[in-house]
Structure formats: structure tokens, C-alpha cells
Amino acid sequence: MKIEREIKTQIAQDLITSGKVIIVYGPRQAGKTTLSNEIIAQAGLKTLKINADQIKYIDVLSSRDLTKLKMLVSGYELLFIDEGQRVPEIGLNLKILHDEIPELKILVTGSSSFLLSERITEPLTGRKIVFTLLPISMKELSGQFNAFELMDQLEKLLIYGQYPEVITYENLRQKEDYLREISESLMYKDILELENIKFPMKIRELLQLLAYQIGSQVSINELCQKLGLNRQTVERYLHLLQQSLIIFRLNAFSTNQRNEISKSQKFYFYDTGIRNVLIDNFKTLILRNDVGALWENFVIAERRKKVLYERRYVESYFWRTYHGVELDYIEKKGEQLSAFEIKYSKAKLEPPKSWVEHYGNNYQCITRDNFLEFVL
């Protein structure tokens, strides 16, 4: 089954026409290499493909030596570097290639967005276009399946997530085994190899704590107490996990109204399958007590993919008052606010009065009946 990735056309177009270095970020196993190879085949250019695990290439690509770099790419129209974060000083060397050989097209992938971005941000200022590739979105699946078929698969997507390889497996045991493999080894590989992590097992423990709290406000102090770590360390781990595209954070929305909570946050997973393997729960929905939270995570993550791929620059929040009144998801674009409540079954038709009083009746409840419109 071949699923077209939503950003493929734009990447292919920018690679050929923009004159800039194209960088594709994404978590491990999200399909960056597969997507890149499809784009390369479509481009029809003579291509040098480099896996940055190979030492012979790392030496040249980190040399800052124009002569060596020219020798490497001589005769090629396109340079493809896979796992570019493994190359020391990758940004400076890409800058040299871009400036000195402007006719050369360059495509780079990277798993560790936090590391690669630090190495490329300054050297490649004004010289790069960055794309993010996440696990497969509902919109991408809609190119293969109609609305009825998507709804028929919904429970499996909630339970096992949407990593490309997971979707290809028909056997549920294969899906579980694959998720266990990537959660126990591949998911943290970049963080543990490339960052000075003193307590690697604490990363997994932290993720497990967050997995049990999706849809709920998270106390950093409570995380510190349960993990036995100081606040600075926990905040650093949270930052690394966000930059590695495993989790994302929603902050509380407030305009300083007296009754609004302003200093709080929630964390969600980009993929519900990863969340479920962390708590070792692959039960069917009818046997679960976390369906509401799982649904909320799924819908917000899908909306996040949609906004990202459409390159819509919106701010995302949740909203809650000290009296316990809450809205699951808020989008802010300029001065425009949109409020959403996310319910798995029964719709909540009316927004909270306190929200309407301060921000207007810009409200929608997202359920299984209408979520496709929200995420497609």
C-alpha cells in the first residue's frame, strides 16, 4: 500500500526551483528516507546518495575544505544526505556547497531536529527551506481510503497509531511488536547518543508519566518528585522529547482574566500507538477507561499535522478557569480565536458562558461524527 505524503509535492517543487537547501526533519521511522527516494526518482537528476553513518563521507562533509567537497559532488546534480545530524559542522559545510556550487541541488534528512537545527540554523540562514514529516496523517490516509473506510479503521488507528510500518501490518501482534521495538530502542537513540543524559531510564519513566496524563494538566513539580530529578533536568528532558517530535505541549490560554489559569500545560503524543505501548495497553476501546483522553490526543495531534502541513501559523492552547470550566483546544491566528471541545461520543452543544462573555461564541464540538472535517 503506497500512501502519498502531503508535503511531497511542495518538497519536490522547492528542491528544483528554490535554489535553497531542503531539510526534512522527523522522528525515526516516520518515512523520511522513503519520501526522499520517491522525490529523487521523480526529479530525474544524477544523484549522490550519502548515508551519514559512513565515516568516509563524514570526513569530507565536515572538512570545510572546498576542494574535497567539490571532488565529492563532481558530476552530480543532486546531493542527498540521509541522517545529516550525524555530520559534525554540517551547517557550515552545506553553506560552502550552497554558496560555491549554486547549481547543485541539496536534500538533507535528520531525525534529531534539536541537534540538526542547532548545527544548521545560523550557517544556513536564508539558504534553507525546512519541512517536518510526522507519522501518517488522516488526510494522507484519505488519499487511499474513503470516509467510510477511514471510520472503519478508526479504532485501530487510535490503539496502534500511524507510523508507516504499523499501518502496513494486518496482524495486530506485528503492530504491537513493532511499537515495542521502536519505543525501547529507536525512539531515544538520538537523545541518548548525542546528548549527555545522566539517567537514560528516566526519559522512559517521564514519558510513561505523561502517557497516563494526556488530556490533564501536568505539574512539573509532581514530575520532579516522582522521577527524583530537579526541575532543570525535567524541563530539559521535556524540551528534548518535544524537539525529537515524540510529544508536544499545549499551554493554558489566558488574557489575564481573574478566574483563568495561565501557568499550566498539557502534553500530548504525536502518535497514539507510542502512547499506548508506553503504558502497555492495546485493549479494544470497549475495554478501556481512557477512551476520552485517547480520543482527545488523537484529534489534537491530527489537527496539529494539518496545520503544520498547510503551513498555517497558528498558536494552540487549552483553556481552563479556577472553577474547573475548560475547553480542550484553542487556536489563535492573529486576533481571531477558535474554541473546540473534543468528545468521543455525545456532543457538547453549548460553549461555557464565561468563554462566550470574554471571547465570543466561536465554538465547535468535535466528535466522531464531524472530526474528519476538522482534520482533513
Measured CA to CA, the distance from residue 246 to residue 362 in angstroms comes to 31
For the domain bounded by 8-132, which CATH number is listed? 3.40.50.300
Query: For residue 244, what pLDDT is reported?
Result: 87
Ranked by mean pLDDT, which of 87-91, 103-107, 190-194, 321-325 comes out on top? 103-107
- Laid out side by side, the sheet with 265-269 consists of 265-269, 247-252, 315-320, 326-333, 336-342, 363-366
- Averaged pLDDT, 308-323: 93
Query: For residue 173, what pLDDT is reported?
Result: 96
What 3-state class would DSSP assign to 119?
helix
How many Cα atoms sit within 13 Å of 229 on the Cβ side?
Answer: 20
Residue tagged 524540551 (cell numbers):
239
Q: Place 117 in a pLDDT band, splitting at 50, 70 and 90.
A: low
Query: For residue 314, what pLDDT is reported?
Result: 95
- Averaged pLDDT, 237-252: 92
Query: For residue 11, what pLDDT is reported?
Result: 98
The share of the chain scoring above pLDDT 70, in percent, equals 95
Q: Residue 1: pLDDT above 80?
A: no
Measured CA to CA, the distance from residue 327 to residue 128 in angstroms comes to 38
pLDDT tens-digit map of 129-165: 999 999 999 999 999 999 999 999 999 999 999 999 9
Query: For residue 308, what pLDDT is reported?
Result: 95
For the domain bounded by 138-375, which CATH number is listed? 1.10.10.10
Query: For residue 243, what pLDDT is reported?
Result: 86
Backbone angles phi, psi at 329, to 5 degrees: -150, 130
Q: Are 140 and 4 in contact (CB under 8 A)?
A: yes
pLDDT tens-digit map of 326-365: 999 999 999 999 999 999 988 888 999 999 999 999 999 9
pLDDT tens-digit map of 11-63: 999 999 999 999 998 988 999 999 999 999 999 999 999 998 888 899 999 99
Average pLDDT, the chain: 92
| CATH 3.40.50.300 boundaries in the chain | 8-132
Measured CA to CA, the distance from residue 345 to residue 147 in angstroms comes to 18
Q: Is 235 exposed, middle or buried (0-12, 13-18, 19+ CB in 10 A)?
A: middle
Measured CA to CA, the distance from residue 82 to residue 49 in angstroms comes to 8
Q: Residue 76: pLDDT above 90?
A: yes
Global pTM reads 0.94
Kindly provide the residue ranges of all beta strands, DSSP E only, lying in 55-165, ordered along the sequence.
Answer: 78-82, 105-110, 128-132
Q: How many helices (H) and strands (E) does the chain have?
A: 18, 11
Backbone angles phi, psi at 252, to 5 degrees: -75, 135
Amino acid at residue number 320: R
pLDDT tens-digit map of 169-227: 999 999 999 999 988 866 677 677 666 777 778 999 999 999 999 999 999 999 999 99
Query: For residue 171, what pLDDT is reported?
Result: 95
| CATH 1.10.10.10 boundaries in the chain | 138-375
Query: For residue 38, what pLDDT is reported?
Result: 97
